[in-house]
Structure 1
Amino acid sequence: MTGQPRATVVTHGGAGGSREQDDGCRFAARAGLDRLTGGGSALQGAVTAVVALEDDGRYNAGSGSVLCLDGHTIEMDASVMDSQGALGAVACLQRVKNPVLVAQAVAGTPHWLLAGEGAERFARTAGFGPHHEISERQRAKHERLLATLGGSTAATPGVANRAFADYWNYDTPPAFSPCDTVGAVVRDAAGNFAVACSTGGSAPSLLGRVGDTPIIGSGFYAGADGAVAVTGIGEHIVRHLLAHTVYAWIAAGMAVGDAVRRGVELLPEEIDVGVIAVGRGDAAMHSNRDMPCAEVMHD
Protein backbone atom coordinates (compact mmCIF):
# COMPACT_ATOMS: atom_id res chain seq x y z
CA MET A 1 0.00 0.00 0.00
CA THR A 2 1.35 3.41 -0.91
CA GLY A 3 0.79 6.72 0.81
CA GLN A 4 -0.53 7.34 4.30
CA PRO A 5 -2.37 4.41 5.93
CA ARG A 6 -6.11 4.98 6.39
CA ALA A 7 -7.37 4.62 9.93
CA THR A 8 -9.64 1.56 9.99
CA VAL A 9 -11.76 -0.18 12.64
CA VAL A 10 -13.39 -3.59 12.18
CA THR A 11 -15.75 -5.02 14.81
CA HIS A 12 -17.69 -8.23 15.34
CA GLY A 13 -20.48 -9.30 17.68
CA GLY A 14 -19.83 -13.05 17.79
CA ALA A 15 -20.07 -16.01 15.43
CA GLY A 16 -23.61 -17.33 15.43
CA GLY A 17 -25.13 -13.95 16.22
CA SER A 18 -27.77 -12.13 14.21
CA ARG A 19 -26.93 -9.82 11.32
CA GLU A 20 -29.79 -7.69 12.63
CA GLN A 21 -27.24 -6.61 15.25
CA ASP A 22 -24.85 -5.12 12.68
CA ASP A 23 -26.04 -1.69 13.81
CA GLY A 24 -24.36 -2.14 17.19
CA CYS A 25 -21.13 -3.18 15.49
CA ARG A 26 -21.29 -0.13 13.22
CA PHE A 27 -21.87 2.14 16.22
CA ALA A 28 -18.92 0.56 18.04
CA ALA A 29 -16.65 0.81 15.01
CA ARG A 30 -17.57 4.45 14.54
CA ALA A 31 -16.89 5.15 18.23
CA GLY A 32 -13.46 3.56 17.85
CA LEU A 33 -12.73 5.57 14.71
CA ASP A 34 -13.81 8.78 16.42
CA ARG A 35 -11.35 7.99 19.21
CA LEU A 36 -8.59 7.51 16.62
CA THR A 37 -9.32 10.68 14.69
CA GLY A 38 -9.54 12.55 17.98
CA GLY A 39 -5.91 11.75 18.70
CA GLY A 40 -6.25 8.36 20.39
CA SER A 41 -3.88 5.47 19.83
CA ALA A 42 -4.77 2.30 17.95
CA LEU A 43 -5.21 0.53 21.29
CA GLN A 44 -7.48 3.25 22.64
CA GLY A 45 -9.57 3.00 19.47
CA ALA A 46 -9.91 -0.77 19.83
CA VAL A 47 -10.84 -0.54 23.52
CA THR A 48 -13.38 2.22 22.88
CA ALA A 49 -15.07 0.04 20.24
CA VAL A 50 -15.23 -2.99 22.55
CA VAL A 51 -16.58 -0.92 25.46
CA ALA A 52 -19.46 0.10 23.17
CA LEU A 53 -20.13 -3.57 22.39
CA GLU A 54 -19.95 -4.53 26.09
CA ASP A 55 -22.46 -1.79 26.94
CA ASP A 56 -24.89 -2.69 24.14
CA GLY A 57 -26.47 -5.59 26.07
CA ARG A 58 -27.27 -7.71 23.00
CA TYR A 59 -23.86 -9.35 22.72
CA ASN A 60 -22.31 -11.93 25.03
CA ALA A 61 -19.88 -9.52 26.68
CA GLY A 62 -20.06 -6.98 29.49
CA SER A 63 -23.70 -6.12 30.19
CA GLY A 64 -24.95 -8.92 27.93
CA SER A 65 -22.78 -11.72 29.35
CA VAL A 66 -24.42 -15.11 29.73
CA LEU A 67 -25.27 -16.58 33.11
CA CYS A 68 -23.29 -19.56 34.32
CA LEU A 69 -25.20 -22.78 35.00
CA ASP A 70 -26.07 -21.76 38.56
CA GLY A 71 -28.19 -18.93 37.16
CA HIS A 72 -26.34 -16.22 39.10
CA THR A 73 -22.60 -16.23 38.42
CA ILE A 74 -21.17 -14.33 35.45
CA GLU A 75 -17.53 -14.97 34.47
CA MET A 76 -15.96 -12.77 31.80
CA ASP A 77 -12.71 -12.77 29.83
CA ALA A 78 -11.10 -9.91 27.91
CA SER A 79 -7.83 -9.05 26.22
CA VAL A 80 -5.90 -6.23 24.56
CA MET A 81 -2.74 -6.13 22.47
CA ASP A 82 -1.06 -3.72 20.10
CA SER A 83 1.95 -3.57 17.80
CA GLN A 84 3.83 -1.31 20.20
CA GLY A 85 4.18 -3.77 23.08
CA ALA A 86 0.97 -3.47 25.08
CA LEU A 87 -0.50 -6.79 26.26
CA GLY A 88 -3.09 -7.45 28.96
CA ALA A 89 -5.85 -9.95 29.68
CA VAL A 90 -8.29 -11.10 32.36
CA ALA A 91 -10.00 -14.47 32.78
CA CYS A 92 -12.95 -15.59 34.91
CA LEU A 93 -13.47 -12.01 36.04
CA GLN A 94 -16.66 -11.33 38.01
CA ARG A 95 -18.61 -8.24 39.06
CA VAL A 96 -17.25 -5.56 36.72
CA LYS A 97 -19.05 -3.59 34.03
CA ASN A 98 -16.33 -3.43 31.36
CA PRO A 99 -13.77 -6.24 31.54
CA VAL A 100 -11.89 -4.88 28.52
CA LEU A 101 -10.97 -1.80 30.57
CA VAL A 102 -9.57 -4.06 33.29
CA ALA A 103 -7.55 -5.95 30.66
CA GLN A 104 -6.20 -2.62 29.44
CA ALA A 105 -5.22 -1.76 33.03
CA VAL A 106 -3.45 -5.13 33.41
CA ALA A 107 -1.27 -4.14 30.45
CA GLY A 108 0.29 -1.49 32.71
CA THR A 109 1.30 -4.02 35.40
CA PRO A 110 4.27 -6.45 35.52
CA HIS A 111 1.88 -9.22 34.35
CA TRP A 112 -0.07 -9.93 31.18
CA LEU A 113 -2.91 -12.10 32.56
CA LEU A 114 -4.85 -12.02 35.84
CA ALA A 115 -7.63 -14.47 36.65
CA GLY A 116 -10.47 -15.12 39.06
CA GLU A 117 -10.44 -13.54 42.50
CA GLY A 118 -7.08 -11.90 41.88
CA ALA A 119 -8.40 -10.22 38.74
CA GLU A 120 -11.43 -8.90 40.63
CA ARG A 121 -9.28 -7.59 43.48
CA PHE A 122 -7.05 -5.89 40.92
CA ALA A 123 -10.12 -4.31 39.29
CA ARG A 124 -11.10 -2.76 42.61
CA THR A 125 -7.54 -1.52 43.18
CA ALA A 126 -7.55 0.01 39.70
CA GLY A 127 -10.76 1.89 40.46
CA PHE A 128 -13.42 -0.25 38.78
CA GLY A 129 -16.42 -0.52 41.10
CA PRO A 130 -18.59 -3.58 41.72
CA HIS A 131 -21.17 -4.31 39.04
CA HIS A 132 -23.54 -7.27 38.84
CA GLU A 133 -26.78 -6.80 36.92
CA ILE A 134 -28.84 -9.58 35.35
CA SER A 135 -31.34 -8.63 32.67
CA GLU A 136 -34.57 -10.40 31.74
CA ARG A 137 -32.95 -11.25 28.42
CA GLN A 138 -30.11 -13.06 30.20
CA ARG A 139 -32.56 -14.95 32.44
CA ALA A 140 -34.69 -16.01 29.48
CA LYS A 141 -31.61 -17.27 27.65
CA HIS A 142 -30.58 -19.22 30.74
CA GLU A 143 -34.01 -20.87 30.98
CA ARG A 144 -33.74 -21.96 27.34
CA LEU A 145 -30.31 -23.41 28.05
CA LEU A 146 -31.59 -25.44 31.00
CA ALA A 147 -34.41 -26.78 28.83
CA THR A 148 -31.86 -27.87 26.22
CA LEU A 149 -29.68 -29.56 28.84
CA GLY A 150 -32.70 -31.51 30.01
CA GLY A 151 -33.38 -32.78 26.49
CA SER A 152 -31.65 -35.02 24.00
CA THR A 153 -30.05 -32.29 21.84
CA ALA A 154 -26.44 -31.55 22.80
CA ALA A 155 -26.03 -28.01 24.12
CA THR A 156 -22.34 -28.08 23.12
CA PRO A 157 -21.18 -29.90 19.97
CA GLY A 158 -19.53 -33.20 20.83
CA VAL A 159 -20.27 -33.00 24.58
CA ALA A 160 -22.97 -35.03 26.34
CA ASN A 161 -25.36 -32.84 28.34
CA ARG A 162 -24.93 -35.21 31.28
CA ALA A 163 -21.24 -34.21 31.57
CA PHE A 164 -22.16 -30.84 33.06
CA ALA A 165 -23.99 -32.55 35.92
CA ASP A 166 -21.30 -35.23 36.34
CA TYR A 167 -18.57 -32.60 36.79
CA TRP A 168 -20.69 -29.90 38.47
CA ASN A 169 -18.46 -27.55 40.52
CA TYR A 170 -20.81 -24.76 41.60
CA ASP A 171 -21.86 -24.14 45.21
CA THR A 172 -25.49 -24.86 44.35
CA PRO A 173 -26.93 -28.27 43.32
CA PRO A 174 -27.26 -28.90 39.57
CA ALA A 175 -30.54 -27.79 38.06
CA PHE A 176 -31.69 -29.02 35.04
CA SER A 177 -26.59 -19.48 25.65
CA PRO A 178 -24.39 -19.21 23.42
CA CYS A 179 -20.65 -19.08 22.82
CA ASP A 180 -20.05 -15.52 21.63
CA THR A 181 -17.35 -12.91 21.86
CA VAL A 182 -17.03 -9.30 20.79
CA GLY A 183 -13.89 -7.84 19.31
CA ALA A 184 -12.28 -5.00 17.42
CA VAL A 185 -9.17 -4.74 15.28
CA VAL A 186 -7.67 -1.37 14.43
CA ARG A 187 -5.11 0.21 12.12
CA ASP A 188 -4.37 3.85 12.87
CA ALA A 189 -3.18 6.51 10.45
CA ALA A 190 0.43 5.92 11.51
CA GLY A 191 0.22 2.22 10.58
CA ASN A 192 0.05 0.90 14.15
CA PHE A 193 -2.25 -2.03 14.96
CA ALA A 194 -4.31 -3.08 17.97
CA VAL A 195 -6.89 -5.65 18.99
CA ALA A 196 -9.34 -5.81 21.89
CA CYS A 197 -11.73 -8.66 22.75
CA SER A 198 -14.31 -9.40 25.42
CA THR A 199 -16.66 -12.27 26.22
CA GLY A 200 -19.18 -13.31 28.80
CA GLY A 201 -17.95 -16.87 28.48
CA SER A 202 -19.57 -20.01 27.14
CA ALA A 203 -22.85 -21.56 28.14
CA PRO A 204 -23.03 -24.27 29.28
CA SER A 205 -19.71 -24.41 31.10
CA LEU A 206 -18.23 -25.43 34.42
CA LEU A 207 -17.20 -22.73 36.90
CA GLY A 208 -13.73 -21.43 36.07
CA ARG A 209 -13.87 -22.29 32.37
CA VAL A 210 -11.51 -20.19 30.21
CA GLY A 211 -11.87 -20.04 26.45
CA ASP A 212 -9.73 -18.52 23.72
CA THR A 213 -10.51 -14.83 24.32
CA PRO A 214 -7.76 -14.11 26.92
CA ILE A 215 -5.20 -16.52 25.40
CA ILE A 216 -2.61 -14.75 23.26
CA GLY A 217 -2.33 -16.24 19.79
CA SER A 218 -5.65 -18.08 20.10
CA GLY A 219 -8.39 -15.49 20.43
CA PHE A 220 -6.31 -12.41 19.66
CA TYR A 221 -3.00 -11.24 18.22
CA ALA A 222 -1.47 -7.98 17.00
CA GLY A 223 1.95 -7.22 15.58
CA ALA A 224 3.77 -5.05 13.07
CA ASP A 225 1.83 -6.52 10.13
CA GLY A 226 -1.73 -6.50 11.43
CA ALA A 227 -4.26 -7.47 14.09
CA VAL A 228 -6.61 -10.45 14.37
CA ALA A 229 -9.62 -11.26 16.59
CA VAL A 230 -11.37 -14.63 16.69
CA THR A 231 -14.82 -15.70 17.89
CA GLY A 232 -16.36 -19.13 18.33
CA ILE A 233 -15.90 -22.23 20.47
CA GLY A 234 -12.64 -21.65 22.34
CA GLU A 235 -11.87 -25.29 23.07
CA HIS A 236 -11.43 -25.78 19.31
CA ILE A 237 -9.89 -22.40 18.50
CA VAL A 238 -7.00 -22.79 20.95
CA ARG A 239 -5.92 -26.04 19.33
CA HIS A 240 -5.13 -24.13 16.15
CA LEU A 241 -3.65 -21.00 17.80
CA LEU A 242 -6.02 -19.48 15.29
CA ALA A 243 -5.34 -15.75 15.74
CA HIS A 244 -1.58 -16.13 15.41
CA THR A 245 -1.96 -18.60 12.55
CA VAL A 246 -4.01 -16.07 10.58
CA TYR A 247 -1.60 -13.28 11.55
CA ALA A 248 1.38 -15.30 10.31
CA TRP A 249 -0.28 -15.78 6.92
CA ILE A 250 -0.91 -12.03 6.68
CA ALA A 251 2.68 -11.26 7.71
CA ALA A 252 3.90 -13.63 4.97
CA GLY A 253 2.03 -11.63 2.34
CA MET A 254 -1.36 -13.36 2.08
CA ALA A 255 -4.32 -11.06 1.42
CA VAL A 256 -6.31 -10.48 4.60
CA GLY A 257 -9.51 -11.77 3.02
CA ASP A 258 -7.83 -15.02 2.00
CA ALA A 259 -6.23 -15.40 5.45
CA VAL A 260 -9.49 -15.05 7.41
CA ARG A 261 -11.32 -17.46 5.09
CA ARG A 262 -8.52 -20.00 5.34
CA GLY A 263 -8.55 -19.65 9.13
CA VAL A 264 -12.27 -20.37 9.36
CA GLU A 265 -11.84 -23.39 7.09
CA LEU A 266 -9.38 -24.96 9.56
CA LEU A 267 -12.27 -25.86 11.86
CA PRO A 268 -15.05 -28.37 11.13
CA GLU A 269 -18.24 -26.89 9.73
CA GLU A 270 -20.23 -27.87 12.86
CA ILE A 271 -18.01 -25.63 15.04
CA ASP A 272 -18.96 -21.93 15.16
CA VAL A 273 -15.99 -19.74 14.25
CA GLY A 274 -15.41 -16.26 12.88
CA VAL A 275 -12.32 -14.14 12.25
CA ILE A 276 -11.81 -10.42 11.68
CA ALA A 277 -8.44 -8.94 10.74
CA VAL A 278 -6.75 -5.82 9.46
CA GLY A 279 -3.43 -5.61 7.63
CA ARG A 280 -1.29 -2.87 6.16
CA GLY A 281 -3.59 -2.25 3.22
CA ASP A 282 -6.75 -4.26 3.69
CA ALA A 283 -9.24 -5.61 6.21
CA ALA A 284 -11.70 -8.48 6.18
CA MET A 285 -14.16 -10.56 8.19
CA HIS A 286 -15.42 -14.10 7.68
CA SER A 287 -17.47 -16.65 9.62
CA ASN A 288 -19.12 -19.99 8.99
CA ARG A 289 -22.22 -18.62 10.74
CA ASP A 290 -24.08 -15.33 10.68
CA MET A 291 -21.86 -12.86 12.53
CA PRO A 292 -22.77 -9.24 13.27
CA CYS A 293 -19.85 -7.13 12.07
CA ALA A 294 -18.85 -3.77 10.64
CA GLU A 295 -15.91 -1.94 9.09
CA VAL A 296 -15.39 1.82 9.08
CA MET A 297 -12.52 3.74 7.52
CA HIS A 298 -11.44 7.35 7.83
CA ASP A 299 -11.90 9.29 4.59
Structure 2
Amino acid sequence: MQELSAESRADFERGLTLAYEAGSGVLASGGNAVDAVCAAVEQLENHPLFNAGHGAALTADGRAELDSSVMDGATGLAGAIAASKHAKNPVFLARSVMQRSAHLLLVDPSADLVASWDLETVSPDYFVTGARLEQLARIRALEVPAARHGTVGAVARDSRGSIAAATSTGGMANQHEGRVGDSPIIGAGTYARDGLAAVSCTGEGEAFIRGVVAYDIAARMRYLGSGLGEAVTTTVETELTAKGASGGLVAVDSDGRVVVAHNSPTMFAAFANENGIVMLT
Protein backbone atom coordinates (compact mmCIF):
# COMPACT_ATOMS: atom_id res chain seq x y z
CA MET A 1 0.00 0.00 0.00
CA GLN A 2 1.29 3.44 -0.82
CA GLU A 3 2.40 5.72 1.99
CA LEU A 4 -0.46 7.89 3.15
CA SER A 5 -0.09 11.65 3.23
CA ALA A 6 -0.51 13.29 6.64
CA GLU A 7 -3.87 14.64 5.50
CA SER A 8 -5.09 11.22 4.36
CA ARG A 9 -3.91 9.58 7.57
CA ALA A 10 -5.76 12.19 9.60
CA ASP A 11 -8.92 11.61 7.55
CA PHE A 12 -8.73 7.87 8.18
CA GLU A 13 -8.19 8.46 11.88
CA ARG A 14 -11.23 10.74 12.05
CA GLY A 15 -13.34 8.05 10.41
CA LEU A 16 -12.03 5.39 12.78
CA THR A 17 -12.71 7.65 15.75
CA LEU A 18 -16.33 8.14 14.69
CA ALA A 19 -16.76 4.38 14.34
CA TYR A 20 -15.12 3.61 17.68
CA GLU A 21 -17.17 6.25 19.49
CA ALA A 22 -20.42 4.99 17.94
CA GLY A 23 -19.78 1.43 19.06
CA SER A 24 -18.40 2.27 22.48
CA GLY A 25 -21.31 4.64 23.07
CA VAL A 26 -23.76 1.78 22.58
CA LEU A 27 -21.83 -0.39 25.05
CA ALA A 28 -21.49 2.42 27.59
CA SER A 29 -25.25 2.88 27.64
CA GLY A 30 -25.80 -0.82 28.32
CA GLY A 31 -26.48 -1.83 24.73
CA ASN A 32 -25.66 -5.24 23.36
CA ALA A 33 -22.71 -6.32 21.26
CA VAL A 34 -24.73 -6.71 18.04
CA ASP A 35 -26.00 -3.13 18.25
CA ALA A 36 -22.47 -1.92 18.99
CA VAL A 37 -20.79 -3.56 15.99
CA CYS A 38 -23.57 -2.42 13.67
CA ALA A 39 -23.29 1.17 14.94
CA ALA A 40 -19.53 1.16 14.35
CA VAL A 41 -19.78 -0.30 10.86
CA GLU A 42 -22.56 2.15 9.94
CA GLN A 43 -20.13 5.03 10.44
CA LEU A 44 -17.56 3.42 8.15
CA GLU A 45 -20.19 2.64 5.50
CA ASN A 46 -21.15 6.31 5.48
CA HIS A 47 -17.53 7.52 5.15
CA PRO A 48 -16.27 7.73 1.54
CA LEU A 49 -12.67 6.81 2.41
CA PHE A 50 -13.55 3.26 3.41
CA ASN A 51 -14.41 0.35 1.12
CA ALA A 52 -18.00 -0.16 2.23
CA GLY A 53 -21.27 1.61 1.50
CA HIS A 54 -20.78 5.12 0.10
CA GLY A 55 -17.32 5.03 -1.46
CA ALA A 56 -17.12 1.28 -1.94
CA ALA A 57 -14.82 -0.25 -4.54
CA LEU A 58 -16.40 -0.75 -7.97
CA THR A 59 -16.79 -3.83 -10.13
CA ALA A 60 -15.34 -4.09 -13.62
CA ASP A 61 -18.53 -2.58 -15.04
CA GLY A 62 -18.34 0.42 -12.70
CA ARG A 63 -21.04 -0.55 -10.21
CA ALA A 64 -21.04 -1.14 -6.47
CA GLU A 65 -22.04 -4.61 -5.28
CA LEU A 66 -22.00 -4.63 -1.50
CA ASP A 67 -21.53 -7.56 0.88
CA SER A 68 -22.06 -7.62 4.63
CA SER A 69 -22.63 -10.00 7.53
CA VAL A 70 -23.44 -9.92 11.22
CA MET A 71 -23.09 -12.73 13.78
CA ASP A 72 -24.39 -12.78 17.35
CA GLY A 73 -22.14 -14.83 19.60
CA ALA A 74 -24.85 -15.19 22.24
CA THR A 75 -27.39 -16.94 20.02
CA GLY A 76 -25.22 -18.30 17.22
CA LEU A 77 -27.52 -16.58 14.74
CA ALA A 78 -26.13 -14.75 11.73
CA GLY A 79 -27.33 -12.81 8.71
CA ALA A 80 -25.59 -11.85 5.49
CA ILE A 81 -26.19 -10.21 2.14
CA ALA A 82 -24.21 -10.26 -1.09
CA ALA A 83 -24.32 -8.02 -4.18
CA SER A 84 -26.60 -5.57 -2.41
CA LYS A 85 -27.39 -2.44 -4.42
CA HIS A 86 -30.25 -0.66 -2.65
CA ALA A 87 -29.71 -0.53 1.14
CA LYS A 88 -27.87 2.60 2.25
CA ASN A 89 -26.28 0.61 5.08
CA PRO A 90 -25.67 -3.01 4.12
CA VAL A 91 -24.81 -3.94 7.71
CA PHE A 92 -28.38 -3.15 8.82
CA LEU A 93 -29.74 -5.26 5.98
CA ALA A 94 -27.55 -8.18 7.08
CA ARG A 95 -28.80 -7.77 10.63
CA SER A 96 -32.39 -7.75 9.37
CA VAL A 97 -31.78 -11.00 7.50
CA MET A 98 -30.66 -12.46 10.82
CA GLN A 99 -33.50 -11.04 12.89
CA ARG A 100 -36.44 -10.82 10.47
CA SER A 101 -36.11 -13.74 8.07
CA ALA A 102 -35.78 -17.50 8.17
CA HIS A 103 -32.60 -17.29 6.09
CA LEU A 104 -28.93 -16.57 6.63
CA LEU A 105 -27.67 -15.28 3.25
CA LEU A 106 -29.55 -13.32 0.59
CA VAL A 107 -28.05 -12.36 -2.77
CA ASP A 108 -29.05 -9.13 -4.58
CA PRO A 109 -31.91 -8.28 -2.20
CA SER A 110 -34.54 -6.07 -3.82
CA ALA A 111 -35.29 -2.47 -2.97
CA ASP A 112 -38.80 -3.55 -2.02
CA LEU A 113 -37.46 -5.97 0.56
CA VAL A 114 -35.15 -3.31 2.01
CA ALA A 115 -38.02 -0.87 2.31
CA SER A 116 -40.35 -3.50 3.80
CA TRP A 117 -37.89 -3.87 6.70
CA ASP A 118 -37.98 -0.09 7.28
CA LEU A 119 -34.40 0.39 6.12
CA GLU A 120 -33.25 3.37 4.10
CA THR A 121 -33.01 2.77 0.36
CA VAL A 122 -30.82 4.72 -2.05
CA SER A 123 -30.11 4.79 -5.76
CA PRO A 124 -27.17 2.57 -6.76
CA ASP A 125 -25.40 5.76 -7.88
CA TYR A 126 -25.20 6.82 -4.21
CA PHE A 127 -22.36 4.38 -3.61
CA VAL A 128 -20.21 5.54 -6.55
CA THR A 129 -17.66 8.28 -5.87
CA GLY A 130 -15.24 10.11 -8.12
CA ALA A 131 -12.29 8.70 -6.20
CA ARG A 132 -13.45 5.13 -6.83
CA LEU A 133 -14.03 5.80 -10.51
CA GLU A 134 -10.46 7.12 -10.72
CA GLN A 135 -9.19 4.04 -8.87
CA LEU A 136 -10.99 1.76 -11.31
CA ALA A 137 -9.47 3.61 -14.27
CA ARG A 138 -5.95 3.31 -12.80
CA ILE A 139 -6.32 -0.41 -12.17
CA ARG A 140 -7.59 -1.01 -15.69
CA ALA A 141 -4.53 0.79 -17.06
CA LEU A 142 -2.05 -1.36 -15.11
CA GLU A 143 -0.56 -4.46 -16.68
CA VAL A 144 -0.15 -5.96 -13.20
CA PRO A 145 -3.05 -5.04 -10.87
CA ALA A 146 -2.16 -3.27 -7.64
CA ALA A 147 -3.51 -4.27 -4.25
CA ARG A 148 -7.20 -3.52 -4.48
CA HIS A 149 -9.07 -5.14 -1.63
CA GLY A 150 -10.44 -3.64 1.57
CA THR A 151 -13.14 -4.22 4.13
CA VAL A 152 -14.54 -2.62 7.27
CA GLY A 153 -15.51 -4.54 10.36
CA ALA A 154 -16.06 -4.41 14.09
CA VAL A 155 -16.06 -6.76 17.06
CA ALA A 156 -17.43 -6.08 20.52
CA ARG A 157 -18.00 -7.56 23.99
CA ASP A 158 -20.89 -6.15 25.98
CA SER A 159 -21.53 -5.83 29.72
CA ARG A 160 -23.21 -9.24 29.78
CA GLY A 161 -20.10 -10.87 28.35
CA SER A 162 -21.64 -11.57 24.96
CA ILE A 163 -19.67 -10.90 21.79
CA ALA A 164 -20.54 -10.11 18.18
CA ALA A 165 -18.90 -9.35 14.85
CA ALA A 166 -19.93 -7.42 11.75
CA THR A 167 -18.19 -7.01 8.40
CA SER A 168 -18.99 -4.92 5.31
CA THR A 169 -17.28 -4.37 1.97
CA GLY A 170 -17.49 -3.38 -1.66
CA GLY A 171 -15.14 -6.24 -2.51
CA MET A 172 -12.16 -5.92 -4.83
CA ALA A 173 -11.87 -3.00 -7.21
CA ASN A 174 -12.35 -4.18 -10.80
CA GLN A 175 -13.72 -7.54 -9.67
CA HIS A 176 -15.98 -9.44 -12.05
CA GLU A 177 -19.61 -8.52 -11.51
CA GLY A 178 -21.22 -11.12 -9.28
CA ARG A 179 -17.99 -12.03 -7.47
CA VAL A 180 -18.51 -12.62 -3.75
CA GLY A 181 -15.65 -12.66 -1.28
CA ASP A 182 -15.37 -13.74 2.33
CA SER A 183 -17.17 -10.86 4.05
CA PRO A 184 -20.69 -12.36 3.85
CA ILE A 185 -19.47 -15.93 4.41
CA ILE A 186 -19.93 -16.93 8.03
CA GLY A 187 -16.80 -18.68 9.27
CA ALA A 188 -14.61 -17.17 6.56
CA GLY A 189 -14.78 -13.39 7.01
CA THR A 190 -16.98 -13.19 10.10
CA TYR A 191 -17.56 -15.39 13.13
CA ALA A 192 -18.67 -15.00 16.75
CA ARG A 193 -19.32 -17.49 19.53
CA ASP A 194 -19.73 -16.61 23.18
CA GLY A 195 -17.01 -18.16 25.31
CA LEU A 196 -14.56 -18.08 22.40
CA ALA A 197 -14.10 -15.10 20.10
CA ALA A 198 -15.63 -12.67 17.66
CA VAL A 199 -13.62 -12.13 14.47
CA SER A 200 -13.93 -9.79 11.49
CA CYS A 201 -11.53 -10.17 8.56
CA THR A 202 -10.18 -8.19 5.62
CA GLY A 203 -7.91 -9.18 2.75
CA GLU A 204 -7.82 -11.57 -0.18
CA GLY A 205 -11.30 -13.03 0.19
CA GLU A 206 -10.74 -16.23 -1.71
CA ALA A 207 -7.92 -17.20 0.68
CA PHE A 208 -10.07 -16.43 3.71
CA ILE A 209 -12.82 -18.65 2.31
CA ARG A 210 -10.47 -21.54 1.53
CA GLY A 211 -8.93 -21.33 5.00
CA VAL A 212 -12.21 -20.66 6.82
CA VAL A 213 -10.07 -18.14 8.67
CA ALA A 214 -12.51 -16.62 11.15
CA TYR A 215 -13.77 -20.02 12.30
CA ASP A 216 -10.27 -21.53 12.32
CA ILE A 217 -9.31 -19.06 15.03
CA ALA A 218 -12.30 -19.99 17.18
CA ALA A 219 -11.74 -23.70 16.53
CA ARG A 220 -8.14 -23.48 17.75
CA MET A 221 -9.42 -21.90 20.94
CA ARG A 222 -12.21 -24.44 21.38
CA TYR A 223 -10.43 -27.66 20.55
CA LEU A 224 -6.76 -26.93 21.26
CA GLY A 225 -7.22 -24.60 24.21
CA SER A 226 -5.23 -21.84 22.50
CA GLY A 227 -5.50 -18.28 23.70
CA LEU A 228 -6.80 -15.68 21.27
CA GLY A 229 -3.36 -14.29 20.44
CA GLU A 230 -1.85 -17.70 19.75
CA ALA A 231 -4.86 -18.78 17.68
CA VAL A 232 -4.75 -15.65 15.56
CA THR A 233 -1.00 -15.85 14.97
CA THR A 234 -1.12 -19.52 13.97
CA THR A 235 -4.10 -19.09 11.66
CA VAL A 236 -2.62 -16.07 9.88
CA GLU A 237 0.65 -17.94 9.37
CA THR A 238 -0.82 -21.24 8.18
CA GLU A 239 -3.86 -20.08 6.20
CA LEU A 240 -2.57 -16.80 4.76
CA THR A 241 1.19 -16.23 4.88
CA ALA A 242 2.17 -19.81 4.06
CA LYS A 243 -0.15 -19.73 1.07
CA GLY A 244 1.05 -16.39 -0.28
CA ALA A 245 -2.11 -14.50 0.69
CA SER A 246 -2.43 -11.24 2.58
CA GLY A 247 -4.96 -9.68 4.91
CA GLY A 248 -5.76 -9.00 8.51
CA LEU A 249 -8.41 -9.15 11.19
CA VAL A 250 -9.74 -7.75 14.42
CA ALA A 251 -10.84 -10.09 17.20
CA VAL A 252 -12.05 -10.03 20.78
CA ASP A 253 -12.41 -12.93 23.21
CA SER A 254 -14.97 -13.52 25.94
CA ASP A 255 -12.74 -11.79 28.50
CA GLY A 256 -12.51 -8.64 26.39
CA ARG A 257 -8.97 -9.15 25.12
CA VAL A 258 -8.52 -7.51 21.72
CA VAL A 259 -6.15 -8.73 19.01
CA VAL A 260 -5.41 -6.87 15.78
CA ALA A 261 -3.25 -8.78 13.31
CA HIS A 262 -2.26 -8.53 9.66
CA ASN A 263 0.41 -9.68 7.25
CA SER A 264 -0.44 -6.95 4.75
CA PRO A 265 1.67 -3.78 4.68
CA THR A 266 -0.97 -1.69 6.44
CA MET A 267 -4.24 -2.11 8.29
CA PHE A 268 -6.27 0.56 10.06
CA ALA A 269 -7.90 -0.16 13.43
CA ALA A 270 -9.07 1.53 16.62
CA PHE A 271 -9.64 -0.05 20.02
CA ALA A 272 -9.24 0.77 23.70
CA ASN A 273 -6.90 -0.50 26.38
CA GLU A 274 -6.08 0.64 29.90
CA ASN A 275 -4.35 3.72 28.49
CA GLY A 276 -7.25 4.86 26.32
CA ILE A 277 -7.97 4.67 22.59
CA VAL A 278 -5.28 3.00 20.46
CA MET A 279 -5.24 4.08 16.81
CA LEU A 280 -3.42 1.93 14.24
CA THR A 281 -2.97 3.66 10.86
Distance (whole Å) between structure 2 residues aligned to residue 48 and residue 17 of structure 1: 29
2:271 is paired with a residue of what secondary structure? strand
Contact 1:74 1:95 in 2 (8 A): no
What per-residue deviation string (whole Å, max 9, x for no partner) do you get for residues 21-53 of structure 1? 244223312210101111211100010010011
Q: Against the structure 1 CA distance between its residues 28 and 146, is the aligned structure 2 distance closer, same or farther, given a 3 Å change threshold?
A: same
How far the C-alpha of 1:203 sits from its partner, in A, is: 1.9
CA distance in 2, matches of 1:17, 1:183: 22
Cα deviation code 1:97-150 (max 9, x no counterpart) = 21001101111211111101x3544213223322332222112111111111xx
1:82 corresponds to 2:72: yes
| Long gaps (5+) in structure 1 | 1-14, 157-176
Q: Which residue in 2 is equivalent to 1:173? A: none
Q: Which amino acid aligns with 2:54?
A: S
1:145-190 alpha-carbon deviations (Å, 9 max, x no partner)? 1111xx2x2x27xxxxxxxxxxxxxxxxxxxx72111000111121
Pair 1:112–1:297, CA change in 2 (3 A): farther
Equivalent residue runs for 1:116-265 within 5 Å: 116=108, 118-127=109-118, 128-131=120-123, 132-133=125-126, 134-148=128-142, 151=143, 153=144, 155=145, 178-224=148-194, 225-251=196-222, 252-265=224-237
Q: 1:16 to 1:272 in 2, by over 3 A?
A: farther
Task: Return 5+ residue gaps in structure 2 as ranges.
Answer: 277-281
- Superposition TM-score, scaled by structure 1 size: 0.80
> Structure 2-normalised TM-score?
0.85
Task: Sort the Cα spacing of 1:17 and 1:213 in 2 relative to 1 into closer, same or farther, 3 A.
Answer: farther
**Greater RCO between the two (CA within 8 Å, min separation 6)?**
1
2:53 to 55, 62, 73: 62
Identify the match of residue 92 of structure 2 among 76, 101, 117. Answer: 101
Mapped to 1, the partners of 2:130 and 2:44 lie a distance apart of 19
- Partner SS for 1:227: strand
8 A contact 2:86–2:110 mirrored in 1? no
Is 1:274 aligned with 2:248? Answer: yes
> Structure 1 residues 119, 221: CA separation in 2 closer, same or farther (over 3 Å shift)?
farther
| Other-structure match for 2:102 | 110
Report how many aligned residue pairs link the two structures: 259
